[in-house]
Structure 1
């Protein structure tokens, strides 16, 4: 009888532990879902966000245009722009809606344009 009661106590302890573990996992899942929803609502409200660009070059005008020509020849599917902000010229690719999209493109072009970096644009 003693062995049977020990087994019952052990089974009851395991059942209680599993029920607490399941309840904790459910509350954590609910919290994560709420945070994701709050992030979506916040992103819709805040329109200041402008996306991402990849900057290939920052320097003088003639080199900026050369980098643009080289990039356009190697990767014609990606739009490039040249921006002048005194005193420097910038050659940039994009815009990209998400950081993930910009990072994936950066991985593609990084072998030919080693100094390229992802920049976040805010309007």
Structure 2
């Protein structure tokens, strides 16, 4: 009796496993979804999504002096001075991933306290 129930359980398990694996193979790709994903990739390639490091947010005079100080210490890094009323922002770098930005932030924070990573 125990052998029969074990064999039945085993056969039932195999049948359920086969049907379950066949159910996952019935995925159909929608051409519209594929086209939309390709459009998004092209958009990101040209317009970019990424991160910058913001060094300062405040007065114009201090923002400009901080930007020039940063350019002296890190000559090859892109810097941008942004004005959004009523504050000036100093943003540096163009990073594709958050990980890249965080790595640079660790180096930059040694000289510039209060720097943060912001998305574009």
- Structure 2 match to 1:100: 99
Q: How many residues align?
A: 116
TM-score by length of 2: 0.62
* Distance in structure 1 (CA, Å) of the matches to 2:95 and 2:102: 9
Does residue 112 of the first structure (1) align with residue 111 of the second (2)? yes
> Where do residues 14-93 of structure 1 align in structure 2 (5 Å cutoff)?
50-93=49-92
Aligned-partner SS, 1:50: coil
Relative to structure 1, the CA distance from residue 44 to residue 77 in structure 2 (aligned partners, 3 Å threshold; closer, same or farther) is same
- Structure 2 match to 1:5: none
Query: Tell me, which stretches of 5 or more residues in structure 2 are unaligned?
Result: 1-36
* Distance in structure 2 (CA, Å) of the matches to 1:54 and 1:65: 16
TM-score by length of 1: 0.60
Query: Tell me, which stretches of 5 or more residues in structure 1 are unaligned?
Result: 1-38
Q: Runs of 4+ in structure 1 displaced over 3 angstroms?
A: 39-49
Deviates more, 1:80-89 or 1:96-105: 96-105
**How well do the aligned residues superpose, as a CA RMSD in angstroms?**
3.7
